[in-house]
Structure 1
Amino acid sequence: MSYRCVIVSNPAHISTRSEQLVVETDERHTVPIEDISALMLESRRATFSAAALSALAQNGTAVFVCDEKHLPCGVLLPYAQHSRQLAAARAQLSLTLPAKKRFWQQLVTAKIGNQAECLALCGKTQEAAFLHSRARAVTSGDKDNLEAAAAAYYFPALFGTGFTRSADDGRNAALNYGYAILRGYAARCAAVYGLLPWEGLHHCSQLNQYNLADDLMEPFRPVVDLYVAANVDEASTLAPALKHALFGLMNADILSGGQHHSVAYAMERLVQSLRTGMEKGGALALPKLLAWQPHGYE
């Protein structure tokens, strides 16, 4: 199972040899391609061989590229890697509206529940109890839009009265960076399991090629929130160390199906359960937030 998140921050040439990714800077580094779940190309002076890109795509690795501000602006996704691509696409496109609403209800319930857990882990027990009650009240399709109401309550409770997601400060910059990683990885998981990233359950913008990824990432957002609340303040900048830490949250410990997994694998389990649920029914394998610690691999 792929588990490593690799960042290339300095000018480098990247190639492949003997199933290893070779990164040549002032020194030569190698990483087994089968171990890489995500690769961030932060340097604008990194060059890639076509063979390396092909090998990463075949491995199902999400390859992120950055803009001139060193922020993620795109992701390379694997293409048609699933053995039953047509069956998966047909199952997704034939989902009934009631089925989509039930899946969305589960995702929103898990998201608000994890926001409550984030508040509890930050010592805000009264606010956490309120959000837990809101999570239990989510109905099919979230017709009362409790997701938005919970967010309006949650962010000021977490970051302080007056905080808004539109504010130009270090916390929002860190949140946006972390969310971009989650979004790209959700799109990667959808593609690996033969699903169409643009065909969402709730998100449905015709201008958005990642509608499904935007649905699936929702319960994982509090992983980023928890880290930012503990480590970032209003005056913080997106220094390389912070960006590395946010990218590394894909290896944070989280509960999935009552078991400890990395965020990356928990997201994969969620997509697996969605894929099964589309054809056979059943509940989603939803994540539950834990106190921040790196996942321990055996």
Structure 2
Amino acid sequence: MIKRTLYFGNPAYLSKQQKQLKVTEPKTNNELGSIPIEDIGVMLLDNYQITITHGLIVALTHNNTAIISCDERHLPQGLMLPMDGHTLQTERLRFQIEMSEPLRKNLWQQTVKAKVENQASLLQIVEKENKRLKALVPQIQSGDPDNIEGRAASVYWKVLFEETNFTRQRYGVAPNAHLNYCYAVLRAIVARALVGSGLSPTIGIFHRNKYNSYCLADDIMEPFRPYCDELVYNMWQEGEIDSEEITIEQKRKLLSIATVDVQYDKQKSPLMVGLSRTTNSLYECLAGERRKIVYPQFLIN
């Protein structure tokens, strides 16, 4: 079953009633609706006048729901996940902690290759030249010592938005903010899937910043980023993005990243569902049960 992604942008009182998330209008105390907690995968809170009860938080985290809080700029700022997401979590964490350096480098090589291949596929889908990206794929070595990932990104962004002077930056002109927003939601979905597979989002393969609590999530989300890029690119091409401000309607579209179709071999599945296949395959690599992480391939008609 596809888990739902919920967005709350108005004042609300959120509580638990039996096994339901109950939404109440705070001024009138009128009930606005209820949703089965078991159906919720991601919940985004984007208003400082939202109140959420502790009982609901416990029920949501028990359900492995990712709770995202937004800052004063209405951008995702905080993420809450369950501490215990799998019955064999201690054993699985041991495999993760004891990961050898050769395995770490090999897994990063696989990840960079999957990312660049998906970037090249997206360029093909939008009828842009992708030969330079394809030529870089065979050059990706264990651990990516030559930073092919960075070199590919430089080519990719110039070609994807070749009609403009767009530069991919954390804080820059549109559609940078929209990309950041979509990536933040994707990061939360990836972290949720990792926890569900008994892994810690903190202990990374390549990312190792001591100030980053989601290093592994940042690693595993890399091949999934082009799905965000496609979503934002289509909005840009349709003229829906004309400033750095992210509207409510745009947020709705960006939150749909959880349900976009991804393809594994010849099977399609929603991204949130497919991610569990990726994170479970990562655990199997750490446990020595398989050699490759299962990443999706971009759909090309």
Query: For this structure pair, what is the TM-score category when the shorter chain's length is used for normalisation?
Result: over 0.9
Determine the structure 2 residue equivalent to 1:118: 122
On the 8 A contact 1:257/1:285 being kept in 2, the answer is: no
Shift of 1:291: 6.7
Partners of 1:141 and 1:234 lie apart in 2 by 39
| 2:44/2:68 contact within 8 Å kept | yes
Q: Which residue of 1 aligns with 2:283?
A: 275
> What is the deviation of 1:237?
2.5
Number of equivalent positions: 290
- What corresponds to 2:24 in structure 1? 24
- Residue 188 of structure 1 is matched in structure 2 by 192
Q: Give % identity.
A: 36
**1:1-298, aligned counterparts within 5 Å?**
1-25=1-25, 27-124=31-128, 127-160=129-162, 162-166=165-169, 168-232=172-236, 233=241, 235=243, 237-279=245-287, 280-290=289-299
1:140 offset after TM fit, Å? 1.2
Partner amino acid, structure 1, of 2:216: L
Q: For the Cα contact (< 8 Å) 2:21–2:36, is it kept in 1?
A: yes
Task: Identify the range of structure 1 (163-172 vs 246-255) with the bigger mean alpha-carbon deviation.
Answer: 163-172
Shift of 1:2: 4.6
Are 1:257 and 1:286, in contact at CA under 8 Å, matched by a contact in 2? no
Alpha-carbon distance in structure 2 between the residues aligned to 1:220 and 1:98: 24
Distance 2:266 2:83 in 1: 32
Per the alignment, residue 296 of structure 1 pairs with none
SS for the counterpart of 1:283 is: coil
Map Cα deviations across residues 202-221 of structure 1 (whole Å, 9 max, x no partner): 11111111110100100010
Q: Name the SS for the 2:131 alignment partner.
A: helix
CA RMSD of aligned residues (A): 1.7
**Which consecutive residues of structure 1, in runs of 5 or more, have no partner in the other structure?**
293-298
Contact 1:116 1:132 in 2 (8 A): yes
Whole-angstrom distance in 2 between the partners of 1:258 and 1:128: 23
- State the distance in 1 between where 2:120 and 2:197 align: 30
Residue 163 of structure 1 aligns with an amino acid whose one-letter code is F
Q: Distance in 2 between matches of 1:148 and 1:58?
A: 38
8 Å contact 2:166–2:173 — kept in the other structure?
no
